[in-house]
A and B are shown apart, each in its own frame.
Chain A
């Protein structure tokens, strides 16, 4: 029962996410030309949700989705006209469905849906459309009309009403291959207009074949269609608006979105599978262990070469370990690729929050999203949702001003929140930008002094002040409200990011707005690392976080404000002695190696005693017990079953660049 409930939740969430996407699409296009397939798809989602929840006995969701299915049925049949009210109403009910699903996933009862159903009925009664007014329908042969479903008939009427031509393509295909041929023809038709019905027939077709009559509506003329489709075409109704010149452009403009949609129909028996992420984790772990085994084989090969010199067995093992290395790298890439999901998945969820939340507190907000196709690891995507959610709420609460304030400042009354994602090398950058009031630096500074994060008389830079908002316990009602925080402060955002190997940069301008830029690695899992020695301990430093290595003579180190710095190509580079960070006995020597990590203003050099070269490592969590330990990202196994700790360069950087002295040590 437990597994099946999990399955239900997964399926319901998927359907709700899809519905959300569809309603957003409807909202964006219902004034400019809506694709009827979108409405139909939403109807079908509700239909499926009803079926699935019914099977699992989730009564509230069944009742509600059933009522929404009825509403959508009337919309798709044109009995209810689409307008802003309908779109808002759909959004509201989607929220309710989502809340119910949440309750079920927490093991609670989903609650009673009866009064929601009454609302839907009342709403349906208050709306009405223009269906049923029609005209040239008599031009269509009775034999065709009688096989149309009510929905198809409605689409036929709409097409005629909008002045499109109605055509019938007649095709016959061999029984063995008709599926692919029909699919190709369907795609071609959909590129031209709207496919209304596909009628299979066995009249007047050769032995061993099957005939199809495809009825579709388009603004194109018959001659053009004949030329493009290469099949017999009957004109049932001539287009009324086609002859004019702009009509051509209209057809093309419209052909494109249709083209993208074209595989939704015949291919609806989808080729995707849903897999529990835990299973992928397990595969990844196995790949990780294989990587270790591969390393061992390589090492054995080298040792054999040293002992016995070049001979055919040594050569064989060398060749085989090379082949293994290549294949393993491919396997690793493939597994990592499977784990990738478009960030749009979580953006949709955030959009939901923005709408609901802005409504709750009565602010009008436009949410704009870019780069939804940017991919990142599923695990990271899930981990980033909460921090992002927190930041989004924060923007709405504190960033965007109330309408009257905005008006007074000469700003657009509706606030804008922009979510943007893009890839940069091995990282994904997620930007959250608002055009609100900006962070009040004076207030933050005052608070920071009160909390002892900044010294009263000091002259901190803007950046140092902003960084204070990430300090634990900094959240106050003044800066982060109860509502937006819900008990979570910015420090948690930072901690989450850091645990993923990411970090946040904040830029803010008074009355212009605030930008949070979150930088995350694209994948977790297997990474290349540099193995270094500090005192008697060995550590791994992830290659992704470092830019170069240097040899540093200790006499070249200078001290500025109690911090050691090194001039690298004329720029000041803060240095951290890893040994003193962890309170090791320092090694006495004239020179050290420096590993340069971080970028931009967060660049620092880590001083270590020795470097051993690169190794592929699989980072494993230290477990809850050691989680609070600062400075480590996890542990990894290298070579001969030796376990070493992986340095968390971000927290090392924080303690040097950001002055949070009071809280820096373990």
Chain B
């Protein structure tokens, strides 16, 4: 059983991502509605993958990625950025900080599914 943490302030987007993951079967999802919530949830269990938005009201996705990459416990944790097409610049910064890959919103469900499968080695 793998566990994925979905971080996005939009409940709609989280639901869409969850729907994509549910189709994969043996994968559990945990959701955080902000970067801040994600920080609180990180130490609570082990995750196999983080999927995060960038523009969020308190702690943004870049700050979250930076934190994860600079923390020995999470250093190898894969991260997928899901962000809008306008944040091209933000996405580049995210990749520079060590995100594994990114998907542009609005995304095609099979595309995201494919990337998740590849990242988790399913």
Chain A residues engaging chain B, CB cutoff 8 angstroms: 44, 47-48, 51-52, 54-55, 70, 73, 146-152, 175, 178-179, 182, 197-203, 210, 264-266, 268-269
26 inter-chain pairs at a CB distance below 8 angstroms, sorted by A residue, are A47-B10, A52-B12, A54-B12, A55-B12, A70-B86, A146-B96, A147-B63, A147-B65, A147-B93, A147-B97, A149-B61, A149-B93, A150-B89, A152-B60, A175-B43, A178-B40, A179-B36, A198-B58, A200-B63, A201-B70, A202-B70, A202-B72, A203-B70, A265-B58, A268-B57, A269-B33
Q: Which B residues lie within 8 Å of A198 (CB)?
A: 36, 58-59, 63
Q: Which B residues lie within 8 Å of A47 (CB)?
A: 10, 55
Q: Which A residues lie within 8 Å of B48 (CB)?
A: none
CB within 8 A of B66: which of A147, A175, A210?
A: A147
How far apart are the CA atoms of A175 and B41 in the complex, in Å? 11
How far apart are the CA atoms of A149 and B34 in the complex, in Å? 15
Given contacts A150-B90, A178-B39, A266-B58, 16 further A-B contacts (CB under 8 A): A47-B10, A54-B12, A73-B86, A146-B97, A147-B60, A147-B62, A147-B93, A148-B62, A149-B60, A182-B36, A199-B63, A201-B70, A202-B70, A202-B71, A268-B34, A269-B33
Question: Which B residues between 52 and 102 are near A, CB-CB below 8 angstroms?
Answer: 54-55, 57-67, 70-72, 86-87, 89-90, 93, 96-97
Closest chain A residue, CB of each to CB of B11: A51
Q: Which B residues lie within 8 Å of A146 (CB)?
A: 62, 66, 93, 96-97
Closest Cβ of chain A to B74, distance in Å, is 9
Closest chain A residue, CB of each to CB of B93: A146
Closest Cβ of chain A to B98, distance in Å, is 11
Contact B57–A265 (Cβ < 8 Å): yes
Quick one: given A198-B58, A269-B33, are A51 and B39 in contact (CB under 8 Å)? no
Between A70, A147, A175, the greatest number of chain B beta carbons within 10 A of the residue's beta carbon is seen for A147
Closest chain B residue, CB of each to CB of A41: B57
Contact B70–A150 (Cβ < 8 Å): no
Contact A197–B63 (Cβ < 8 Å): yes
Q: Which A residues lie within 8 Å of B40 (CB)?
A: 178-179
CB within 8 A of B55: which of A52, A151, A200?
A: A151
How many B residues are at the interface, by size bracket? 35 or more
Contact B97–A51 (Cβ < 8 Å): no
CB within 8 A of B37: which of A150, A178, A269?
A: A269
Closest chain B residue, CB of each to CB of A264: B57
Q: Which B residues lie within 8 Å of A203 (CB)?
A: 70
Closest chain B residue, CB of each to CB of A186: B58
Between B43, B66, B87, the greatest number of chain A beta carbons within 10 A of the residue's beta carbon is seen for B66
How far apart are the CA atoms of A48 and B89 in the complex, in Å? 21
Q: Which B residues lie within 8 Å of A178 (CB)?
A: 39-40
- Check: B13 CB closer than 8 A to any chain A CB: yes
Closest chain A residue, CB of each to CB of B73: A202
Contact A200–B34 (Cβ < 8 Å): no
How far apart are the CA atoms of A146 and B99 in the complex, in Å? 13
How far apart are the CA atoms of A148 and B96 in the complex, in Å? 12
Q: Which B residues lie within 8 Å of A179 (CB)?
A: 36, 40
CB within 8 A of B36: which of A148, A264, A266?
A: A266
Closest Cβ of chain B to A78, distance in Å, is 14
Closest Cβ of chain B to A270, distance in Å, is 10
Quick one: given A48-B10, A200-B39, A200-B59, are A54 and B106 in contact (CB under 8 Å)? yes
Contact B63–A51 (Cβ < 8 Å): no
Q: Which A residues lie within 8 Å of B59 (CB)?
A: 198-200
Q: What 5 pairs between A and B have smallest CB-CB spacing?
A: A202-B71, A51-B12, A200-B67, A147-B66, A147-B62
Contact B12–A44 (Cβ < 8 Å): no
How far apart are the CA atoms of A601 and B14 in the complex, in Å? 61
How far apart are the CA atoms of A146 and B34 in the complex, in Å? 20
Closest chain A residue, CB of each to CB of B106: A54
Q: Which A residues lie within 8 Å of B57 (CB)?
A: 44, 264-265, 268
How far apart are the CA atoms of A149 and B57 in the complex, in Å? 11
CB within 8 A of A150: which of B33, B61, B87?
A: B87
How far apart are the CA atoms of A263 and B15 in the complex, in Å? 26
CB within 8 A of A149: which of B16, B37, B55?
A: B55
Q: Which A residues lie within 8 Å of B55 (CB)?
A: 47, 149, 151
Q: Which A residues lie within 8 Å of B86 (CB)?
A: 70, 73
Closest chain A residue, CB of each to CB of B57: A268
Q: Which B residues lie within 8 Å of A51 (CB)?
A: 10, 12-13
Closest Cβ of chain B to A306, distance in Å, is 62
Q: Which B residues lie within 8 Å of A55 (CB)?
A: 12, 15-16
Quick one: given A54-B106, A149-B90, A179-B36, are A268 and B58 in contact (CB under 8 Å)? yes
Between B37, B63, B86, the greatest number of chain A beta carbons within 10 A of the residue's beta carbon is seen for B63
Closest Cβ of chain A to B12, distance in Å, is 4
Contact A199–B66 (Cβ < 8 Å): yes
How far apart are the CA atoms of A51 and B107 in the complex, in Å? 12
Q: Which B residues lie within 8 Å of A73 (CB)?
A: 86
Q: Which B residues lie within 8 Å of A48 (CB)?
A: 10
How far apart are the CA atoms of A269 and B13 in the complex, in Å? 16
Closest chain B residue, CB of each to CB of A51: B12
CB within 8 A of B64: which of A148, A182, A200?
A: A200
Q: Which B residues lie within 8 Å of A175 (CB)?
A: 43
Chain B window 37-49, contacts with chain A (Cβ cutoff 8 Å), 1 for yes, 0 for no = 1011001000000
How far apart are the CA atoms of A398 and B23 in the complex, in Å? 63
Closest chain B residue, CB of each to CB of A203: B70
Closest Cβ of chain A to B59, distance in Å, is 5
Contact B87–A149 (Cβ < 8 Å): yes
Q: Which B residues lie within 8 Å of A199 (CB)?
A: 59, 63, 66-67
